[in-house]
């Protein structure tokens, strides 16, 4: 009986050690990419775009079902692959799966949060707060460092120039299709809406799409990660903006993706995204 108890305690200790290793591992030491892995990655990208199209063009319920199946497939595939072994070899394609799971998770959170009794300016915060946590955890298991994505600045003038370019993007966006809805309630509410949009919109989107997803894809397929991450970025907006704005979203995604790939930093594009969004709000307010 004593031996059985000891064995049980040892099992618990091993399980706890494995759990701690999951959150403390510094990343996969060596990553490789197989041809079959690239095919699976392409299939997952297409499935993600199809799930977004289903959500936006077919119906919310059908879209949530497809996204739930996709989330289950991504995480199950990753877990059963035995990929997350600290300090071991791994497939760069498999390392993309946890970060790609953020897209269906974002859609599910956004559609299922009880927001009817809450002011619309806080809707993005309700879905964005748990997604920030999920982003940190997925970066850990995928061997990506969020701190280096944001603070590894090789050229501050370059990052500043990219950030300022958000002014021009906002001006272009104001002429490209309908503007975002105006926030009623005065300047105080507008400021709250702007802060929410910056933290849970611009910065979170750049961390997820350009930092994590494009960063993981870059290790698997190189510069092809730019159009792939842009395709996923467009898919996320299919149900949120009019079709007439999708070409503008495409140009923005490609521009931000190229900047992130060239500089290996998302700080400048995060500010550019924030400035662009704020510019659209200001222009819309002036034209109201």
Q: What is the pLDDT of residues 272-286, one digit of tens each?
A: 999 998 877 666 655
Contact 137, 143 (CB under 8 A): no
Residue 90: its pLDDT value, please? 56
267-273 mean pLDDT? 95
Bridge partners, residue 89, by sequence: 30
236-253 mean pLDDT? 88
**What is the torsional sign of CA 217, 220, 225, 230?**
negative
φ, ψ (nearest 5 deg) of residue 96:
-80, -20
**What is the torsional sign of CA 280, 281, 284, 286?**
negative
User: Does position 199 have pLDDT exceeding 60, yes or no?
Assistant: yes
- Name the token pair of 201: 């919109």
User: Does position 84 have pLDDT exceeding 60, yes or no?
Assistant: no
Per-residue pLDDT band at 18 (split at 50, 70, 90): very low
The number of helices, as runs of H, and strands, as runs of E, in the chain is 14, 2
Q: Both ends of the chain: CA-CA distance in Å?
A: 78
Residue 188: its pLDDT value, please? 76
Identify which has the larger pLDDT, 177 or 91. Answer: 91
Tell me how far the alpha carbon of residue 201 is from its chain's centroid: 10
Per-residue pLDDT band at 143 (split at 50, 70, 90): confident
Above pLDDT 90, what percent of the chain?
45
Contact 146, 139 (CB under 8 A): yes
- Across the chain, mean pLDDT equals 81
User: Does position 30 have pLDDT exceeding 60, yes or no?
Assistant: no
Identify which has the larger pLDDT, 175 or 82. Answer: 175
Residue 243: its pLDDT value, please? 84
3-state SS, residue 79: helix
Residue 83: its pLDDT value, please? 58
Residue 194: its pLDDT value, please? 79
- Name the token pair of 130: 């748990």
Q: Please state, as a whole number, how many other Cβ atoms lie within 10 Å of the Cβ of residue 8.
A: 10
Q: Please state, as a whole number, how many other Cβ atoms lie within 10 Å of the Cβ of residue 60.
A: 14
φ, ψ (nearest 5 deg) of residue 90:
-160, 165
Tell me the C-alpha to C-alpha distance, in Å, between residue 195 and each of 73, 111, 167, 228. Answer: 35, 22, 17, 29
Identify which has the larger pLDDT, 119 or 269. Answer: 269
Eight-state DSSP code of residue 89:
E
User: Does position 10 have pLDDT exceeding 60, yes or no?
Assistant: no
Residue 34: its pLDDT value, please? 60
Tell me how far the alpha carbon of residue 264 is from its chain's centroid: 16
Q: How far apart are CA 172 and CA 167, in angstroms?
A: 9
Residue 288: its pLDDT value, please? 53
Residue 170: its pLDDT value, please? 87
Identify which has the larger pLDDT, 104 or 243. Answer: 104
Contact 104, 134 (CB under 8 A): no
Q: What sections of 88-224 are H helices per DSSP?
A: 97-100, 102-112, 123-142, 146-151, 156-174, 186-197, 204-205, 214-221
Q: How far apart are CA 200 and CA 134, in angstroms?
A: 13
Q: How far apart are CA 221 and CA 228, in angstroms?
A: 10
User: Does position 103 have pLDDT exceeding 90, yes or no?
Assistant: yes
Q: How far apart are CA 40 and CA 50, in angstroms?
A: 15
User: Does position 22 have pLDDT exceeding 60, yes or no?
Assistant: no
Residue 130: its pLDDT value, please? 92
pLDDT tens-digit readout, 201-222: 899 999 999 999 999 999 999 9
């Amino acid at each position: 009986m004593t031996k059985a108890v000891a064995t049980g305690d040892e099992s618990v200790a091993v399980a706890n050690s494995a759990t701690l290793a999951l959150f403390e591992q510094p990343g996969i030491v060596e990553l490789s990419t197989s041809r079959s892995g690239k095919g699976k990655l392409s299939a997952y990208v297409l499935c993600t775009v199809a799930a977004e199209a289903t959500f936006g063009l077919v119906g919310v319920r059908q879209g949530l079902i497809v996204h739930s199946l996709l989330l289950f497939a991504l995480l199950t595939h990753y877990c059963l692959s035995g990929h997350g072994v600290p300090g071991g070899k791994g497939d760069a394609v498999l390392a993309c799966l946890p970060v790609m799971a953020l897209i269906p998770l974002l859609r599910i959170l956004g559609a299922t949060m009880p927001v009817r009794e809450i002011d619309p300016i806080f809707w993005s915060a309700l879905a964005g707060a748990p997604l920030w946590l999920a982003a940190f955890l997925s970066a850990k298991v995928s061997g990506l460092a969020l701190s280096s994505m944001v603070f590894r600045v090789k050229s501050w003038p370059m990052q500043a120039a990219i950030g300022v370019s958000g002014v021009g993007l906002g001006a272009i966006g104001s002429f490209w299709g309908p503007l975002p809805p105006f926030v009623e309630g005065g300047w105080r509410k507008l400021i709250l809406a702007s802060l929410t949009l910056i933290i849970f919109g611009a910065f979170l989107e750049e961390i997820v799409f350009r930092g994590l997803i494009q960063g993981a894809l870059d290790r698997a397929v190189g510069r092809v990660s730019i159009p792939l991450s842009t395709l996923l970025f467009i898919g996320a907006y299919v149900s949120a903006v009019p079709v007439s704005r999708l070409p503008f979203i495409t140009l923005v995604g490609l521009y931000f993706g190229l900047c992130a790939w060239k500089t290996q930093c998302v700080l400048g594009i995060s500010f550019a995204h924030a400035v662009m969004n704020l510019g659209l709000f200001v222009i819309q307010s002036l034209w109201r």
